[in-house]
Amino acid sequence: MPYCPECRDEFQEWVQVCPDCGVALVGKLPELPGYEEKDEPLVYIGTAPNEPLARMWAEILENEGIHPLVKSGELQAAMYMPSLLSRCEIYVVDSQAEKANEVLAPFLEDGL
């Protein structure tokens, strides 16, 4: 599949020029500058009692440059259970775990 080297969108084989950027498509995207793929384990940080609170914690972490993974514990029942009743686990990569624990410490210590 061809890709646009500017916007990185994927196109069908017959497309030769990106309709948005006007540049010729390439067969393989160049690596993003400054991007380094890492194979780090995920570390459990804590469990939020509901999804809205988990999303708030995730946004707090994002504002600190930490990229969390929010995982619902009740995925199978999600369509039948309101998000206020669904507990969510927060994970980060190992290299960001110490900072994430510091940032969320006030919330986790309250027994949430």
Q: Is residue 94 part of a domain?
A: yes
Domain presence at residue 37: no
| 13 and 48 share one domain | no
Residue 46 makes CB contacts below 8 A (sequence gap 6+) with 57, 89, 90, 104, 107, 108
Q: 61 and 8, same structural domain?
A: no
For 72-107, what is each residue's pLDDT tens digit?
865 545 555 555 567 889 999 999 999 999 999 998
Q: What is the pLDDT of residues 24-37, one digit of tens each?
A: 999 998 877 665 66
Determine contact, residues 43/99, Cβ cutoff 8 Å: no
Q: Per the domain annotation, does 2 fall within a domain? A: yes
Q: pLDDT tens digit string along 29-67?
A: 887 766 566 788 999 999 998 888 999 999 999 999 999
Is there a contact between 59 and 24 (Cβ–Cβ < 8 Å)? no
Q: Are residues 3 and 55 in the same domain?
A: no
Kindly indicate the confidence band of residue 112, based on its pLDDT and cuts at 50, 70 and 90.
Answer: very low
Cα 47 to Cα 32: distance, rounded to the nearest angstrom: 33
User: Does 59 share its domain with 102?
Assistant: yes
Is the Cβ–Cβ distance between 92 and 69 less than 8 Å? yes
Residue 21 belongs to domain spanning:
1-31
Q: Are residues 27 and 46 in the same domain?
A: no
Residues 54, 99, single domain; the answer is yes
Residue recorded with tokens 């972490």:
61
Same domain, 54 and 102: yes
- What's the domain count of the chain? 2
